[in-house]
């Protein structure tokens, strides 16, 4: 059976490609993933420009209702856009605002919240950070200890978040906080929005393995969050958190990046006579190419399921664990192809592919941890996909 895109969808894919060919700077060293943009002032400025251009075309709000600035397109159009953006390593898409928060607001937010936040996100004018993980609450997210105590017109928030990607660039933060300590830990959590410039919020940098500043710690000290910034009702945050994580884990972005990375590694192999005919490397590259197609079809199936309003809990975890571990296998193979020169830094004339191989090898291992570690994804697949009991 041959699955085909409609003529309109094929035309849209070409429109995105033509746009990127015209608008994306050619002589700029783009990182292999989103976080690299956050650590560079020049890249971040260009990313903001690209966001506004994409927003003007309605591409950042493809599936939204028109009343909030959307185009009311389907999930397949969103898949096409996401795949092309990831493959071309294009800046401009705030994954926190576009991919994570927006669908949560559409599903759980009230009219005032939707009207206030969705239009600037869709125009590429407002950027977000995600305040979920804490020093002692990562894979067991429900153990979070940040407190939000209800007052007359606001919640008083105290606590700490960690690994907060892009907090130093963000205009606002969506976060989880405990609003009830007398119930089961999953049931006492609420979902909030807050302006990043609110008094009492302190952002401290965390430099990652590549030397880039993409991660941060956030400290909340007596931060006053207006009650109108509570999304979905008090103590309902776990429902929104799990929905958001499904949006984060699903999609085709990881696989689109894998495809581009593998293509460059294959080209590097062709230029090395010792490797081009070596069956160890050719078999490995062939295996990776097959795995990319598997990951691609997983992403396509999820988009189809979402278009039918089907539950994608287990499938999102399948796609996430498969694609992020595939990224690391591709990086590992790339470093073997590059040899010792692959360890050299950007700027050294001997380093292959501008130093991206080594950078990707170090940073993409974290993909197997972010958005839920691979072990957690396998638990979800076993429990929600196979119906097995919890440990």
Catalytic hit among 35, 83, 134, 248 = 248
E strands, 199-244, in order = 201-207, 213-226, 230-231
Is 220 within 8 Å of 200 (Cβ atoms)?
A: yes
CA 8, CA 77: separation in Å to the nearest integer? 9
- Give the list of residues 6+ apart from residue 42 with CB closer than 8 angstroms, or none: none
Q: Which two tokens stand for residue 53?
A: 């251009």
Q: 83 catalytic, yes or no?
A: no
Is 77 within 8 Å of 62 (Cβ atoms)?
A: yes
Is 200 within 8 Å of 221 (Cβ atoms)?
A: yes
Q: Which two tokens stand for residue 155?
A: 């919640």
Which candidate, 137, 175, 147, places its Cα nearest to that of 372? Answer: 137
391: helix, strand or coil: coil
- Give the list of residues 6+ apart from residue 342 with CB closer than 8 angstroms, or none: 334, 335, 351, 352, 357, 358, 361
326: helix, strand or coil: helix
Residues with a known catalytic role? 248
């Amino acid at each position: 059976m041959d699955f085909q895109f409609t003529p309109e969808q094929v035309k849209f894919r070409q429109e995105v490609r033509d746009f990127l060919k015209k608008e994306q700077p050619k002589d700029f060293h783009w990182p292999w993933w989103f976080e690299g943009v956050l650590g560079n002032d020049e890249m971040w400025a260009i990313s903001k420009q690209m966001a506004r251009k994409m927003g003007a075309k309605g591409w950042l709000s493809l599936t939204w209702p028109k009343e909030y600035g959307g185009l009311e397109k389907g999930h397949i159009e969103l898949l096409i856009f996401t795949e092309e953006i990831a493959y071309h390593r294009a800046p401009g898409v705030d994954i926190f605002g576009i991919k994570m928060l927006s669908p949560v607001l559409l599903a759980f937010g009230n009219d005032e919240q939707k009207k206030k936040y969705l239009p600037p996100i869709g125009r590429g004018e407002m950027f977000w950070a995600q305040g979920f993980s804490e020093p002692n609450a990562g894979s067991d997210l429900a153990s979070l200890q940040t407190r939000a105590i209800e007052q007359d017109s606001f919640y008083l928030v105290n606590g700490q978040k960690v690994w907060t990607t892009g907090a130093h660039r963000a205009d606002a933060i969506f976060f989880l906080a405990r609003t009830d300590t007398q119930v089961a830990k999953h049931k006492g959590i609420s979902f909030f929005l807050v302006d990043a410039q609110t008094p009492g919020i302190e952002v401290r940098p965390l430099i990652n393995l590549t030397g880039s500043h993409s991660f941060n710690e956030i400290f909340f000290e007596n931060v006053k969050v207006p009650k109108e910034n509570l999304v979905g009702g008090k103590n309902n945050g776990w429902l929104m958190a799990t929905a958001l994580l499904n949006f984060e884990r699903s999609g085709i972005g990881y696989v689109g990046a894998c495809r581009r990375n593998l293509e460059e590694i294959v080209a590097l192999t062709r230029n090395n006579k010792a490797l081009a005919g070596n069956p160890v490397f050719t078999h490995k590259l062939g295996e990776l190419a097959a795995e990319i197609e598997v990951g691609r079809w997983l992403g396509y199936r999820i988009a189809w399921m979402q278009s039918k309003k089907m539950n994608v809990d287990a499938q999102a975890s399948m796609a996430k664990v498969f694609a992020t571990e595939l990224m690391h296998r591709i990086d590992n193979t790339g470093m073997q192809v590059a040899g010792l020169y692959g360890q050299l830094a950007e700027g050294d004339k001997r380093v292959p592919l501008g130093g991206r191989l080594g950078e990707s090898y170090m940073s993409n291992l974290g993909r197997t941890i972010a958005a839920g570690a691979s072990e957690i994804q396998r638990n979800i697949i076993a429990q929600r996909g196979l119906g097995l009991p919890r440990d």
